[in-house]
Chain A
Amino acid sequence: MKLRNKEREIKHEVNMTSMIDIVFLLLVFFVMTFKIVELEGDFSVRMPLASQSSGSIDDTDLPLKLRLQADPAGQLASIRMNEVDLGVDFNALQNTVISLVSGQLPSEEAGDGPEVEIDTDFNLRYEYVINAITAVSGYKEGDQTVKLIDKIKFAKPRR
């Protein structure tokens, strides 16, 4: 009996074209939708509507008054903390807050610390308000964040 020579192996070549097409489509999709993620965070502020029937006001409960004034273009014109003019320097504001807060008891419970009331001109750019909140909230010492004032509220909007 004559046996066939089996040495010849049939080469099966898979057609890659369609797969490469789809893979490139996927690649294009991901490249187009790619967006560098900007890390965001929050300043969490608890601001319930002030009750009108507040009883006796204790002097120690009075918030620190932070007044931010704007020029007609919305740029910061002056910072006043408890009626002390600090120019337009947020570092000076921070130092003032540090000196004010350091006089208080260090073992304050959370939510029981000093409070700051931000009274800003209507047209002041929001960016400056955030800078002010940053300055009064704390500062960075290396990787650590030192907290200063937790409680922040806004005064009535000035029209």
Chain B
Amino acid sequence: MSIFAYDFMQRALIAAALIGLIAPLIGIFLVQRRLALLGDGMGHVALTGVGLAFLTGLAPVPTALVVAALGALILELVRARSRTAGDLALALVFYGGIAGGVLLTSLASGKASSALNQYLFGSLSTVATEDVLWLLAAGVVVLLILGFFGREMFAMTLDPDVAHVQGIRTTRLGILLTVLAAVTVVIGMRTVGLLLVSAIMIVPVAAAQQLAGSFRATAIGAVIVGLACSLAGLTTSFTLDVPPGPTIVLLALAAFVIAALIAIPLRRRRQRHPHPVDESDHSHHGHGSENDRPSRHAHE
């Protein structure tokens, strides 16, 4: 019997396809910005949203959407206003999110605690019809915003200073990207689960960039890996009766290992054409050994 015959599987497949498509597209910007763990932070914050929904009886998906988006804004404000380093601000949000989520869920009732597991690691049977509508709406909004601002985001993540001199509002765009990551986390909450959703943003990008020679190729490759792993992972989890989140993530990690193994001979071939790589990557103002060049005698 085909798995498509079950209504809940149809809904789960729609949700999985959505996250497989969108997560890598957001993740590639996070990796480029060196914020690969941002999705994890947002996942923890969304957990507080889920806890709040349990406690108040509100619908979990929209509640988590609102709370995660607010958490994203707070994170960006903490980063901008105080001199807190990016990863420290992220850590603070991390802890607050997971503590809040567990506390609120415990306050709610006994049966909420077992339901929490479904949000942490994903679940096949719990994607309700109204959830699918929420997920589709959120997914369409994310894709539209990416379509409109995607190229600016590329320039911003490539070099924020240069982007600023092109008139790009880098601070606002950074906040927008964080909010989009938060929304994406909630889209993946039902299928992949909040603890692992960040992996589906990052691992397909890590796999694709082993073989890609450009940003565009990395993006396309990451979406293919993301879609293939979410759909295959979902079907596998149905067959084996295990949670979909870990299955999807392990498949993505397998894709990464395969890509990395294929990349080894390619990289070796690249190294056979040696380039005079300078060792000054750690310096900021051109100080370092490269400054000891002949310049002095020209002026003295």
Query: Is B a genuine binding partner of A?
Result: no
Q: Which residues of B contact A (CB under 8 A)?
A: none
Q: Which residues of A contact B (CB under 8 A)?
A: none
